[in-house]
Chains A and B, each alone.
Chain A
Amino acid sequence: VNRSEVRSAWIENQVLASERAEASKQSQEALLAVFDRYRELSDQDRAVVDELLAEQAASSDENARFDALAVIGEFRVVSALPALRSLAERLETQDSPGAPYEWAKVNRLIGLLVEQPSGG
């Protein structure tokens, strides 16, 4: 399986999990499905997905960003730190109602990764 296929498979799984969870009125279940999928990844595939997660953390798609941040936090994806720092800087200048709360979340995440960089 090549890099591009790993990325496509991850995104496809994410979209399906999201659709299924929303259809069953339990949007949060998408996260559990994504966590399960991440656990199944080989080390090699994880490296590819970690890169994708860092990209999604900077995405303007709110749900993709939400899921990526959750996975990064759950599995302590330290390689996403630069992306998180950029996101925190971007959020500082935004004035949407959710921006200060997401900014706080991203900063908590940065603190978590800096203090406990061991993965799950």
Chain B
Amino acid sequence: MAAAAASRAARIRAVTARHEHRSRSLVSLLASLAAVLAVVVIAFASPASAAGTRVRANTPVAEHRVGAAQRVAADQVGRLRPPAVRFVSATGVATEEGEGLSEAFHYTGSQNVASIEANGLRAGSYATPNGQLSPLQAQIDLALPPNRGLPGATLQIDVAGLRDAGYEIPEVTPVGRSFNMPGGGSEIQFPYPIPPEFIKVVP
């Protein structure tokens, strides 16, 4: 009798242990699934994942190549963009590092405007975050050569748009002295051509 009771108790313990083991396995499986899901969500939401996404939602070119789903993803990434880091240049003008910059300005001779509007800016072009410079200030602060005359035109470059399209935005650097001009402003040099879609003439 006692032996039968002991055997029954042993069977009950074995069954209970099996149930507990199954429960632990299920919890472990659910935890693993949650971890995988979290990794996928983070990967899709990070700016790094968007680096290869060529998106320019408001241009015909991107409309041609990019689906609506990708544009939505890019919009989400845009919202997750870290805040701009600001610094103050030698002239006291607050500017932003290339990573957070949304627009930059190219000061040039009026004779270049038509060519820029048609072809875009050539690789190696300079711009500055400061769009409020007079022609004379631009020549001094940006150390432009005085023998070319004052820059009579200002062009606005859509840096945020370039970034969204997948371009890497170079760093903003202080302008040093050259051509007997003191410099002191800040500048950014683009190592690639800038398409005309990202440029507009400041009236």
Q: Hey, which bits of chain A sit against chain B, CB under 8 A? A: 21-22, 24-32, 62-63, 66-67, 69-70, 73-74, 95, 97-105
Contacts and interface: CB of A to CB of B under 8 A. Distances in A.
Interface in B111-125: 111-112, 115-116, 118-125
Contacts of A104: 60-61, 195, 197
A98 B192 contact: yes
Given A28-B122, A97-B162, A101-B165, 11 more contacts: A24-B179, A25-B144, A26-B144, A27-B122, A32-B115, A63-B122, A67-B122, A73-B118, A101-B197, A103-B61, A104-B197
Contacts of B144: 24-26
Chain B, interface size: which category? Answer: 35 or more
B120 A26 contact: no
Contacts of A31: 112, 115, 119, 122
Contact of B195 (A26, A32, A67, A102): A102
B166 A97 contact: yes
Interface of B: 52, 54, 56, 59-62, 64-65, 108-109, 111-112, 115-116, 118-126, 142-145, 148, 162, 165-167, 179, 192-193, 195-197
